[in-house]
Structure 1
Amino acid sequence: MVSMNLVLQSLISGISIGCVYGLIGIGFCVIYNASGIVNFAQGAFVMLGGMVTYVLINKFQLPYIVAALGAIAVTAIVGAGVERLVVRPLWKRSAPMFVMILATLAAQIVIERLTYLAVDDQPKTLPAFTDRAPIMLGGVAINFQSLWIMGGSVVIVIALGLFFKSTRTGRAMRAVSINAEAAALQGIPVSLMLTLAFVLSALLGAVAGILLTPTQYTAFNMGVPFAISGFIAAIIGGFGRPLGAFIGGITLGLVQAMAILGLGAGVKNVAALSLLLVLLFIRPSGLLGSSR
């Protein structure tokens, strides 16, 4: 029989990894809302966040915080490059959605290969942000990195909400997501908003990678699994709904954690896809999506 402490421990782990899935899912939503594009290079941004931080710390001897900020900046530049070099030409030609998806998948592979050539194929990890013993609540251990992940994710979600509601740029991006043609007629630079959407998505992916890498390894080819999990989180929450994507990510993380506890690590992906299928049957629009 599984002990209650073990169940609680698994729930904490599920919420922690779920917050990361949620941030990745929000990245999908930001780009989709601005352009209608599904960006499957999102996983590469997660990988770059952890990988570039590792390289800056270990090869250039930069302080942790400087390396993290540098990694976020590098990933943002890569995000802008993907938009300008890959997405923009296709978007101007009104390319079909499946062409856009294939193009972003190709960008993901190119980024992976370049990372492999620039670094190597060995797994990398980062030290925990706080090097202290876990907090013990009865028989449940809560490590500080999990608190960093959960607290940081909540702060980012709140900041994003304020950005979209209270800033001129955020409101412009929302207007583009509602009706790009009408936004253009009002003088909003739609193409610039698209670039900013990719930059913001890359920032979210990089932060997710930096938060995650101290608890799991990063490698040149780890982006795709996290991109898939983030995509599932976005669908669960209601595609295009950032808050829904975050809730969907936590839901996915909890379901996977319970599946691993009850049936073993081998059913992790089965649990994720099963949750997706059940939700698509019950509520195709997602948890927070419109029923229309």
Structure 2
Amino acid sequence: MPSNVELIQSLVNGVGIGLVYGLIAVGFSVIYNASGIVNFAQGVFVMLGGMFTHSLLTRLGMPEAVSAAISIVLVAGVGVLVQFLVINPMWNRKAPLFAIILATLAVQILIEQVVILTLGDQPRTYPEFTSGGPLKIGEIAFSYQLFWILGCGLLMVIALSLFFTKTNVGRALRACSQNRESAALLGIPVQGMLMLSFALSAALGAAAGILITPTQYTAYSVGGPFGINGFIAAIIGGFGSAPAALVGGILLGVVQSGAIVFFGAGFKNVVALTVLLIVLLFFPHGLFGGLGKKV
């Protein structure tokens, strides 16, 4: 039986990784709300954020802040390319939705292979944004990076919520999520809104990858697990609401950390999938589905 200290420490660790899952889940929600598409390439944006930042830090010697900012812009550009080269042509040909979703899986595999060929297949990491630490309160250790993840995650979700509720572009995106045909009749450029949703989603994924890489590592293969956990978090919280997605991610992270403490690391994904099934059975719209489609 784990001690109280182990339980509290696992809770702290779970909140940290859960915030990252939450940011990925928000990325899923942004694209889903704008188009109805579940972008299973979302996890690869997380991987690219960490890989690009590491390359800029080590190969070009750029400062961390500059490397992170450039990486987010680059990954957002990758999201735009995915929409323009893959999603947009299929959308214009009125391809079935499931075919578009399968195409996003193919995009993930393609990007992973390109990363192997260009950046290599070795895991890599970089120092935490604030050196020193961890901060200890009693026997509980708090990584300084956890505070960066918490602060940046909350700021991004608040900024995204304000963007969707207070700006004309955000309202246009929400209009597209409600009824794309009516939005087009009102003069809203639906294709442009879809491209913007991919850029925002990719940027969120990149930010998540940049924040988590100092505490773990990044490699070409991490996109799949992060994408799956972000998708589960989005379902737990309920697609459509950024705060709900963030809370869903935190819940998933805490549950996984608890599973590691009680049952071992091998049961982490088993417990996560069990929670997913329970939510789908009893809360088919997510724990916060009543919030509606309000990013």
TM range (shorter): over 0.9
Paired residue for 1:277?
277
Paired residue for 2:140?
140
Q: TM-score, normalised by structure 1?
A: 0.98
Paired residue for 1:77?
77
Q: Say which is worse superposed, 193-202 or 161-170, in terms of deviation.
A: 161-170
CA deviations 1:60-90 (Å, max 9, x no partner) are 1111111111111110110000000010011
Question: Are the equivalent residues in 2 in contact too, given 1:49–1:75 (CA < 8 A)?
Answer: yes
CA deviations 1:229-282 (Å, max 9, x no partner) are 000011111122322211111110010011001011000100110000111111
Paired residue for 1:4?
4
Query: In 1, distance between residues paired with 2:94 and 2:30?
Result: 19
Question: Are the equivalent residues in 1 in contact too, given 2:84–2:195 (CA < 8 A)?
Answer: yes
Paired residue for 2:126?
126
Paired residue for 1:262?
262
Query: In 1, distance between residues paired with 2:119 and 2:185?
Result: 46
Query: In 2, distance between residues paired with 1:55 and 1:97?
Result: 36
Aligned residue identity for 2:15? I
Paired residue for 1:93?
93
Indicate the SS of the match to 1:145. helix
Query: In 2, distance between residues paired with 1:59 and 1:148?
Result: 24
Question: Are the equivalent residues in 1 in contact too, given 2:241–2:291 (CA < 8 A)?
Answer: no
Paired residue for 2:156?
156
Counterparts of 1:209-248 in structure 2, within 5 Å, are: 209-248=209-248
Question: Are the equivalent residues in 1 in contact too, given 2:237–2:247 (CA < 8 A)?
Answer: yes
Query: In 2, distance between residues paired with 1:89 and 1:36?
Result: 16
CA deviations 1:187-206 (Å, max 9, x no partner) are 11111000000000000000
Q: Which runs of 5+ in 1 are unaligned?
A: none
Query: In 1, distance between residues paired with 2:248 and 2:211?
Result: 19
Indicate the SS of the match to 1:214. helix
Aligned residue identity for 1:116? I
Query: In 2, distance between residues paired with 1:126 and 1:196?
Result: 30
Aligned residue identity for 1:149? I
Q: Which runs of 4+ in 1 moved over 6 A?
A: none
Query: In 2, distance between residues paired with 1:66 and 1:151?
Result: 18
Query: In 2, distance between residues paired with 1:230 and 1:160?
Result: 17
Paired residue for 2:62?
62
Aligned residue identity for 1:43? G
Query: In 2, distance between residues paired with 1:290 and 1:9?
Result: 32
Q: Which runs of 5+ in 2 are unaligned?
A: none
Q: Say which is worse superposed, 87-96 or 10-19, in terms of deviation.
A: 87-96
Q: Given the alignment of the two structures, is residue 16 of structure 1 paired with residue 1 of structure 2, yes or no? A: no
Question: Are the equivalent residues in 2 in contact too, given 1:285–1:291 (CA < 8 A)?
Answer: no
Alpha-carbon distance, 1:176 to partner: 0.8
Query: In 2, distance between residues paired with 1:157 and 1:37?
Result: 21
Alpha-carbon distance, 1:171 to partner: 0.9
Q: TM-score, normalised by structure 2?
A: 0.97
Alpha-carbon distance, 1:147 to partner: 1.0
Query: In 2, distance between residues paired with 1:126 and 1:95?
Result: 42
Query: In 1, distance between residues paired with 2:285 and 2:77?
Result: 33
Alpha-carbon distance, 1:50 to partner: 0.2
Alpha-carbon distance, 1:291 to partner: 10
Query: In 2, distance between residues paired with 1:52 and 1:115?
Result: 10
Q: Say which is worse superposed, 77-86 or 150-159, in terms of deviation.
A: 150-159
Q: Say which is worse superposed, 44-53 or 1-10, in terms of deviation.
A: 1-10
Alpha-carbon distance, 1:5 to partner: 1.4
Alpha-carbon distance, 1:134 to partner: 1.4
Indicate the SS of the match to 2:27. helix
Aligned residue identity for 2:194? L
Aligned residue identity for 1:119? L
Aligned residue identity for 2:26? I
Paired residue for 1:52?
52
How well do the aligned residues superpose, as a CA RMSD in angstroms? 1.2
Indicate the SS of the match to 1:44. helix
Aligned residue identity for 1:48? L
